Amino acid sequence: MAEVEPVSTNNKDDMQEEIPGVMTTSTSAISDFLKKTKAQDLINWGRKNSLWFTVNAMGCCGVELLSTGMAHYDTDRFGIIPRNSPRHADVLIISGYVTKKYFPALKRIWDQMPAPKWVIAFGDCAISGGPFYESYSTRQNIDEVFPVDIYVPGCPPRCEALIQAFYELQKKIVAKKDKGTDY
Amino acid sequence: MDAKAIIDTLSSQFTGVIYDAQVESDIRILAKVKNENVKDICQYLKEELSFGHLCCELGVDHPERNEIEVVYVIGSYEHPVVLTLKAILPRDNPEIESVVPVYWNANWYERETYELFGVKYLNHPDLRPLVLPQDMLGEWPLRKDYKGFPNKTAKNLV
Ligand code: SF4
């Protein structure tokens, strides 16, 4: 696969463009300040109620992921909405085995997601390799690469388990224990 | 035609090229073929004997004999017979003529046999790895002396 040259947008000249009526900054001083105040609780309340997830069904667990987003389980009622673009999403669900060929693409999906973002390892394959734990073609130990917040065991886990995982993630966000934000 | 008639026709058409032919049962024939002639035989099977369906194509590694077998399983919609052809290649340089010009669906089978066993298909239209990444080319994971299996790096095992 052809590698795309990473284009740095973090240099000073790019960031300090003039937008009329808008002050731009290239530091995270404001969000760092807010983290110490009560306002963060309000922000977290908003974040926990709009956990949009990427639809990348990878292994057989992906089927459960898809049906969780559909009408029968209707996660929209919790604000958990499937998004087709990683740029709209907050939660990456690693749903199944990560083959060596798919790994660079998954990495790129993760890089495209805007922070704050969270990872759920869904299924035995994402946790430990599952039935493929000795395989030559799968990438093992995904939790070393992505900051996984919630592990959902099962082969495949049920849709209810995924809803439970979102619930646990919401609890973690409210408790400020999640790995998506540095406190 | 029944199995016996098919194998007789085939052997008389390709004397010396098809050997060790065996009628395993009423519906299965097993035969070995010389690897230079695989494409001609497939052409003949498809055009004259109406064996129009390549069910699968695969490799088998035999390190003790220093051989890689390429197996063609060919079915027909007219005869109640499934034909298994085996071509035997040397293990250090397995090369064989591609049958994609005859059976187009062999394309992905051959790409997969290439990436897993290292069988080089001559005149294949697009011989790239199918499901493995490009940098695993040359490891040939399904050969029996492959060192990367079992992969013992997984933690978190229960
Ligand atoms: S955990 Fe089981 S169901 Fe899920 S991707 Fe792995 S093998 Fe498939």
Q: Where are the domains of chain A?
A: 53-174
Which stretches of chain A score pLDDT less than 70?
Answer: 1-17
Distance of CA B74 to the CA centre of its chain: 10
| Protein fold of B3-136 | Beta Polymerase; domain 2 (3.30.460)
What residues of B are in contact with residue A133 (Cβ under 8 Å)? 151, 154, 157
Q: Which fold has domain A53-174?
A: Rossmann fold (3.40.50)
Give me the residues of chain B with pLDDT under 70, please. 158
CB proximity list for B143: less than 8 A, separation 6 or greater: B61, B63, B117, B118
Is the distance from CB of B133 to CB of A101 less than 8 angstroms? yes
* Domain range annotation of chain B: 3-136
Cα A62 to ligand 1 centroid, rounded to whole Å = 9
Say if the Cβ atoms of B151 and A135 lie within 8 Å: yes
DSSP string for chain A = -PPPPPPP--SHHHHT--BTTB---SS-HHHHHHHTSTHHHHHHHHHHT---EE--B-STHHHHHHHHHSTTT-GGGGT--EESSGGG-SEEEEES--BTTTHHHHHHHHHHSPSS-EEEEESHHHHH-GGGTT-SSB---GGGTS-EEEEE-SSSPPHHHHHHHHHHHHHHHHTT--SSS--
pLDDT, position B150: 86
User: What is the Å distance from ligand 1's center to A1 Cα?
Assistant: 26
- Strand duo B67-75 + B53-62: pairing: antiparallel
pLDDT at residue B84 in the model: 94
**HSE of A164, CA atoms in CB hemisphere, 13 A:** 9
